[in-house]
């Protein structure tokens, strides 16, 4: 059995924010909000948990730093030590100041690239994925709030009309 959802369309982000707060105050669960651009504070108004992407970025940066240290120690000290400009490569610690730019660059490289990959995988965005937005107007000038219907269609419609929705559609998901 397919579940029924209700889509409330809004044409202003301020009206949408007010509507989200009013719907949350009425103790309804908002499945998703589709927007043509990011709306500041919408995630907090919807009650979404804070993102952990910053934590993963820090971990990825630490991985990049570790890889750079191991790589430079192996390449420049153990595998092929060279006397460059009269500075022999006897130990990693003696040569570490010269390696700082490489450590910084690989830290940033790993953090940035792995964070983007994590974001795409977590958001289930991959090549050739079909768009999930319910209406093409959500990519241009309309905002859509999606709520699940649980034998309360009339109440939801009345509430959403009171919040300033310009259009309300019921559909199967």
Q: Encode pLDDT of 116-145 as tens digits.
A: 999 999 888 888 888 888 888 888 889 999
Q: Which residue has the tokens 């940066």?
A: 61
Say yes or no: 60 and 24 in one domain: no
pLDDT tens for residues 29-43?
Answer: 999 999 999 999 999
- DSSP structural state of residue 159: H
Burial of 77 (0-12, 13-18, 19+ CB in 10 A): middle
Residue 93, classed as helix, strand or coil, is helix
Q: Residue 131: inside a domain, yes or no?
A: no
Which residue stretches of the chain have pLDDT < 50? 1
pLDDT at res. 1: 45
Say yes or no: 39 and 57 in one domain: no
Residue 115: partners with Cβ closer than 8 Å, 6 or more residues away: 53, 56, 57, 60
Say yes or no: 26 and 73 in one domain: no
Q: Residue 39: inside a domain, yes or no?
A: yes
Say yes or no: 38 and 60 in one domain: no
pLDDT at res. 2: 57
Q: Residue 106: inside a domain, yes or no?
A: yes
Q: At what angle do helices 153-162 and 13-25 cross, to 10 degrees?
A: 140
How many Cα atoms sit within 13 Å of 158 on the Cβ side?
5
Q: Residue 78: inside a domain, yes or no?
A: yes
Q: Residue 30: inside a domain, yes or no?
A: yes
Say yes or no: 39 and 99 in one domain: no
Say yes or no: 79 and 111 in one domain: yes
Say yes or no: 36 and 64 in one domain: no
Give the number of domains in the chain: 2
- For 4, the token pair is 């029924």
Q: For residues 20 and 46, is the Cβ–Cβ distance under 8 A? A: yes
Q: Residue 83: inside a domain, yes or no?
A: yes
Say yes or no: 57 and 106 in one domain: yes
Q: How far apart are CA 6 and CA 43, in angstroms?
A: 20
Q: Which residue has the tokens 């948990």?
A: 49
Say yes or no: 143 and 163 in one domain: yes
Q: What is the CATH number of the domain that holds 25?
A: 3.30.70
In which domain, by residue range, is 23 found? 4-50+136-172
Q: Residue 128: inside a domain, yes or no?
A: no
The answer to whether the pTM exceeds 0.85 is no
Say yes or no: 39 and 75 in one domain: no
Q: Residue 130: inside a domain, yes or no?
A: no
């Amino acid at each position: 059995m397919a579940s029924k959802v209700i889509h409330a369309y809004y044409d202003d982000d301020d009206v949408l924010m007010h509507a989200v707060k009013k719907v949350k105050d009425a103790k309804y669960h908002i499945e998703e909000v589709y927007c043509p651009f990011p709306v500041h504070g919408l995630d907090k108004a919807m009650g979404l948990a804070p993102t952990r992407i910053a934590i993963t970025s820090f971990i990825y940066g630490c991985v990049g730093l570790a890889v750079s240290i191991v790589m430079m120690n192996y390449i420049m000290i153990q595998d092929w030590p060279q006397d460059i400009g009269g500075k022999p490569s006897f130990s990693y610690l003696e040569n570490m100041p010269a390696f700082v730019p490489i450590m910084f660059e690989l830290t940033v490289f790993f953090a940035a690239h792995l964070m983007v990959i994590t974001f795409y995988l977590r958001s289930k965005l991959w090549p050739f994925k079909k768009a999930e937005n319910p209406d093409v107007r959500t990519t241009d000038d309309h905002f859509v709030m999606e709520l699940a219907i649980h034998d309360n269609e009339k109440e939801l419609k009345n509430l959403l009309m009171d919040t300033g929705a310009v259009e309300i559609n019921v559909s199967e998901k």
